[in-house]
A and B are shown apart, each in its own frame.
Chain A
Amino acid sequence: MKRIAVLVVGVLALGAIVWAQNPLLINGAGATFPYPIYSKWFDEYHKKFANIQFNYQSVGSGAGIKQATEGTVDFGATDGPMNDDQLKAFQDKRGSGILHFPTVLGAVVPTYNVPGVSGALDFTPEALAGIFLGKITKWNDPAITGANKGVNLPANDIVLIHRSDGSGTTYIWTDYLSKVSDEWKSKVGKNTSVNWPVGLGGKGNEGVTGLIKQTPNSIGYVELIYAAQNNIPYGAVKNSSGSFVKADLASVSAAAAGAAKDIPEDFRVSITNAPGKSAYPISSFTWLLIPQKFQDAGKRDAVKGFLMWMLADGQNYAEALSYAKLPKEVIEKEKKAINSIQ
C-alpha cells in the first residue's frame, strides 16, 4: 500500500512539473517545400527558449493560407504569395491584415533523360515554353540544338512530365513560363496546378523523377533541393541578361539580390526571370504568413522574437540544407516590418 502511495505521489509530482513547464504552443501550417528548414529552426529555437514551442504541419501552401484565414493556426506559410482576393478574404474574416515574411529561397530546375546525352543541357526560355506548350516536339528542334552546339540530340519525340499534385514547385515553374511566354500566360497561366497542354503527371518530386528516369527522351522539372540531394542531373537556363546559368545557392541568392532593390513593402514579389548577370531565372522566395494583430500578447512577442532570430542566426542554418539565404537588403527591410505586428 505504501509503495503505491509513493508511486501515486511521484506520478502526480512529475505531472505537476510537466504542467508547470508546459511551453507556450504556437501552431502553424502550410508549405511543404521549406519544411526541413522550418522544423530545424523551430527545433533550435525551442532549445534556446524552452518555454516557446512552435508546431508546424506541412500540409501544403493552399491549406496553409486557408487555415490561417480561418484562424485555426497562429501563422501560415506559402510558396506563392497570397493574391488580392485572398488578402481581402483574410481582412474580411479577421478584421485585420496578414503580412508576408520571406524566409529563404528555393529554385526549380529542368531535368531530363535523353539517351546519349550525358552533360548538362542549356535551355532558352523559348525552348522551355515551346516544349511545355507542346509546340516543340522533337529533341533535335532548332530551338534546343541552337543553344547546345556540339551535343548530338536525337530526332526522338519529347515526353513531357509535370507534377500531378498541386504544388508550390509548379507555381514557380508556371510563373516563370508566364513571364517569358505571352502565349503560356494567356493559354495556361500560373497556379499550383494548371491545365497542362501536354504531358504526363507524376506525384511529388519523387514521382516526376521516377517517371523521367524510366522514360527515355523525357523532360520535367523538380525542386533544386531535391535534385541536389539525389544527384539528379539538371540543365542550365538562359536568364534575362542572356547568360546560361545553372541553379546553385549563389545563383539563386543573386536572383534575390537582383530583385531586392525594388521589393515592394508587402514582400509579395515574384523573382522569376530576375535581373542580374549571374541570377538563376527560376527562383522564388518562400514566405511565412503572420497576422498583423495577435489577440494573445504572449504569442505575439514569441513570434516577433522568432522572426528576428530567423533573420539573424537562423539564416546560418539555410545553406547546409540547400536553401539560399536572404539578401541583406531584404533582411533589413523585414526587420522594420516586424515592428508593425501588433
Chain B
Amino acid sequence: MATAKTTLPNAGPVSGSRSFLSRLRDGDEIARLTTMVFAATVVLITLLLVYELWTDSALARAKFGLHFLVTRVWDPNIDQYGALPFMYGTLVTSAVALLIAVPLGIGAAIFLAELAPPRISDTLQFFIDLLAAVPSVIYGLLGVFIIVPLMRTVIFPALNEPLGFMPFFKGPSYGVGFLTAGIVLAIMVIPYIISVSREVLLSVPSDQREAALALGSTRWESTWKVVVPFAKTGILGSVFLALARALGETMAVTMVIGNTPTISASLFSPGDSIASVIANQFTEATGDVYLQALVELGLVLFLMTFILNGLARILIVVTTQKGSGVPV
C-alpha cells in the first residue's frame, strides 16, 4: 500500500506509478476499461455503418463508378441512377437554412446570455428546449399548411417582382421548393444554435467581461468584442451541429421540397434531397441495382457530412491560430 499513499487522489486520468493490481482493486481500472469500451462502441458503430453502406452498394458502384456523382438521370425503368440533383438539393436547402438560422440563432443567444434578465432568459430557454424536442413531421406540417401557401401568395411575389431578373428568384412558384424547405429547416435548427451558443456564452468567465468594462468599453462592446470571440469555437460548434441536422433531415424536407430531381438556380424551383429520395423510394425499390443505388446515396450523404465536418474542424483550427488565442 506504500505506492497508494504516495499518490495524490486526483493525479490525473492514468497514473503510472501505481501497480495495475492496486488500481484494479480501487476500481479505477474497472472504470477506465468500462468507459473505454463505451467510447469504442461509438467508433465501432460508425465503422460498421460505413462498411454496410460500402458493401451493400457494391453493384451500383461497379456499374456507375464516379459517374454516379455527376449524373442527373434517376430512372428505375432503364436502371440508370445519378446522385447529382439530390446532392445539389441537400446542399442548397442546408445552405439556405444556415443563412437564415445562424444570424437569428446567434443573435438570440447573445440576448439570452448577455443582455436579458435571468428570469426572462430562463423562461425563454424553456420554450427553446421545447422547440428542439418537437418531432420533424410537425415542422413538415407547419410547412405544408402555412409556409407553402404563404410562399406562393406572399413571399414569391414580394421577391420575384423586384429581384426576378436574378436567376435565384425566377418563377414560377408552386409553393414547394428549395426555399420553402430551407425555411422549414431553418426553423428546425434555430433552437439547437440558440441552446448551445447560450450555454457557451454563459460559460465565458465573468472576469473577461469585467476586464473589458474596466477598460471603459460599453456593455455591447464587451459582449461583441470580448465575450463572443472568447466563445467563438463553441458557437461554431453549434452551427455545425445545426448543419449536420439540416443535411440529414428527411420527413420535413420531403413534405415541402416538391420531390422533383431538378438542378435549378431558382430558389422557388421544386427539388429533391438525398435523405428525402431514400425515404420515398426504399420500400418499393425492387431491382437489385435500384436498391443499391439508394444505399449508395446513403453513402454519399455520409461522405458529404464527413467532409463538411472535416472542413469545420479545419476552420476552427485556422481561425483559432490567427485570432484571439482562445483555447480550443
Chain A: residues with CB nearer than 8 A to chain B?
59-63, 65-66, 86, 157, 159, 164-168, 188-196, 199-203, 207, 210-211, 214-215
Contact = CB atoms under 8 A, between A and B. Distances in A.
A63 B149 CA distance: 35
27 contacts: A60-B283, A61-B284, A61-B286, A62-B284, A62-B286, A63-B283, A65-B286, A164-B259, A164-B272, A165-B279, A165-B280, A165-B283, A190-B77, A192-B76, A192-B284, A192-B286, A194-B77, A195-B74, A195-B76, A200-B176, A201-B258, A201-B272, A202-B259, A203-B259, A211-B176, A214-B152, A215-B152
By secondary structure, the B interface counts as loop
A86 B286 contact: yes
* Max chain B C-beta neighbours (<10 A), residue from A61, A195, A201: A201
Interface residues of B, number: 30
What are the 10 closest A-B residue pairs judged by CB atoms, nearest first?
A: A166-B284, A201-B259, A164-B259, A60-B283, A195-B75, A189-B77, A62-B284, A192-B284, A62-B286, A165-B280
A22 to B, nearest CB: 31
Contacts of B270: 200-201
A203 B255 contact: yes
A251 to B, nearest CB: 27
A240 B284 CA distance: 30
Tell me which of B76, B172, B276, B286 has the highest count of chain A C-beta atoms within 10 A of its own C-beta: B286
Contact of B174 (A59, A63, A215): A215
Indicate the member of B74, B174, B272 with the most A CB atoms within 10 Å. Answer: B174
B280 A200 contact: no
A36 to B, nearest CB: 18
A194 B176 CA distance: 20
Contacts of A210: 144
A214 B285 CA distance: 29
Nearest to A194: B77
Interface string B244-275: 00000000001100111000000000101000
B148 interface: yes
Interface in B64-87: 73-78
Contact of A165 (B175, B258, B272, B281): B281
